[in-house]
Amino acid sequence: MRSYGEFEEYALARQRWLYHTAVLLCGDPHRAPDLVQTTLVKLLRHWSKAARADSVDAYARTVLTRTFLAEQRRGLLSRRAHAVEDPAPAADDPELRLTLLAALAELPPKARAMVILRYWEDLSVAEVASLMRCSESTVKSQCSRSLARLRTRLQDAELLTGQGS
């Protein structure tokens, strides 16, 4: 069994990455720390198993995603409890970033999770399907529909074409 010290070292090193992924999943920078905390508690409880995994990051990502989806199913927190805020200043285009985060928040939780895992976390279709416990064709179709919705939202905001104010 791996030690608590190794867990603590891992948690400190990967906390920021987990937070950024949690913000994208839940769309709320105020809710994301709670999601990360719950994930880390679950990870600590099963640290001996997680530490033996081929990739502790993949194990943690799975715990984070499933924790988010479970919360959504239970309805513990409203999806839109707070307005989407950007916790850090965007380097390029803050208006585009806010519009994109708002558009992500409009996607259903599973579709949002698939888009984040596929394109933000850069997982393969097979990896997302395994993590989400669904078929690869479901991942492909959900991502395709979700990306179309995101494109439409960005075009409606005239940000995709650079014609925005």
Tokens linked to 70:
């479970």
What's the predicted TM-score (pTM) here?
0.68
Q: Model confidence over 91-129: pLDDT tens digits?
A: 567 777 788 888 888 999 999 999 999 998 999 999 999
> Residue 79, SS3?
coil
Long-range contacts of 150-155 (CB under 8 A, 24+ apart): 150/100, 150/103, 150/104, 150/107, 150/115, 153/99, 153/102, 153/103, 153/106, 154/96, 154/99, 154/100, 154/103
For the chain, domains (ranges, CATH) are 1-88 (1.10.1740), 91-165 (1.10.10.10)
Q: Model confidence over 10-59: pLDDT tens digits?
A: 999 999 999 999 999 988 899 999 999 999 999 999 999 999 999 999 99
Torsion, CA 132, CA 137, CA 142, CA 145, rounded to 10: 170
